[in-house]
A and B are shown apart, each in its own frame.
Chain A
Amino acid sequence: AQTVTQSQPEMSVQEAETVTLSCTYDTSESDYYLFWYKQPPSRQMILVIRQEAYKQQNATENRFSVNFQKAAKSFSLKISDSQLGDAAMYFCAYRSRNRGSTLGRLYFGRGTQLTVWP
């Protein structure tokens, strides 16, 4: 089974600074998606960014970008110009593209709690 590991239970950053959240995963598959989800205190799960494994180019969404290292099975999230509203729990997630018994389920890491200081 696929596993997703987030080794940083907590991170903090000063407002306007940059922070990087780490994620590694284990899979024998070659075709998959990776995601970062944000869960603010409201508990809503919000998609931040996604990456298709077959794409070499790292995904970017405004202040959020990823560093996808397929060979190393690493998928880190960089938040630039951090804002107070970025404070949340961040989850890394994996989804296979293969149609099989997993059929699109997400495998989540345990999350990284990000604190943003003013």
Chain B
Amino acid sequence: DSGVTQTPKHLITATGQRVTLRCSPRSGDLSVYWYQQSLDQGLQFLIQYYNGEERAKGNILERFSAQQFPDLHSELNLSSLELGDSALYFCASSVPYGYTFGSGTRLTVV
């Protein structure tokens, strides 16, 4: 158990819909990183939050947004979903010299 909790584990939704993915970092960790893993793009960094503030943005689409709440959990909101958004979405929190990852949310857009 990495200590990073992601819910739900699986999500199936239709095109055009909106979903919210949730991540709770390890106890005491202030940072959250979101990654998308797809077959064609590999592992792509989306966005980072640290203690409630956005710190860095990667290849995140405008249809996607995220936030980190005072209790440090984070939510990734994906809207106007397209078939190409089907992927595994990971969150991670940083540990000395690396990351620990959650088990991911598998999103399938049909």
User: Which of B19-27, B71-79, B93-101 is found at the contact surface with chain A?
Assistant: B93-101
**A47 and B98 within 8 A (CB):** yes
Which residues of chain B in 59-110 are interfacial with respect to chain A, using CB atoms and an 8 Å cutoff? 88, 90, 92, 94, 97-101, 103-104, 106
CA distance A43 to B106 in the complex (A): 10
With A102-B56, A103-B56, A108-B42: A95-B48 Cβ-Cβ less than 8 Å: no
**Interface residues as binary, A91-102 with B (CB distance below 8 Å gives 1, 0 otherwise):** 100010000011
Select one of A43, A101, A108 contacting B56, CB under 8 A: A101
Interface of chain B, main secondary structure: strand
Select one of B56, B90, B100, B104 contacting A105, CB under 8 A: B56
CA distance A104 to B98 in the complex (A): 8
Select one of A42, A43, A47, A105 contacting B45, CB under 8 A: A105
With A33-B97, A35-B98, A95-B98: A105-B42 Cβ-Cβ less than 8 Å: no
**B55 and A103 within 8 A (CB):** yes
The answer to the question of B31 belonging to the interface, with a C-beta cut-off of 8 Å to chain A, is: yes
A residues near B101, Cβ cutoff 8 Å: 44-45
The answer to the question of A86 belonging to the interface, with a C-beta cut-off of 8 Å to chain B, is: no
A residues near B43, Cβ cutoff 8 Å: 91, 106, 108
B residues near A42, Cβ cutoff 8 Å: 103
With A45-B101, A47-B100, A91-B43: A104-B90 Cβ-Cβ less than 8 Å: no
- Of A33, A50, A103, most B-chain CB atoms within 10 Å: A103
CA distance A52 to B31 in the complex (A): 21
CA distance A108 to B33 in the complex (A): 14
CB within 8 Å of B: which residues of A?
33, 35, 42-45, 47, 50, 52, 91, 95, 101-111
Known: A45-B99, A45-B104. 6 other contacts (CB 8 A): A33-B98, A42-B103, A50-B98, A106-B35, A106-B45, A108-B43
- The 7 sampled A-B contact pairs (Cβ below 8 Å) are A43-B88, A43-B106, A44-B101, A95-B97, A105-B48, A108-B42, A109-B42
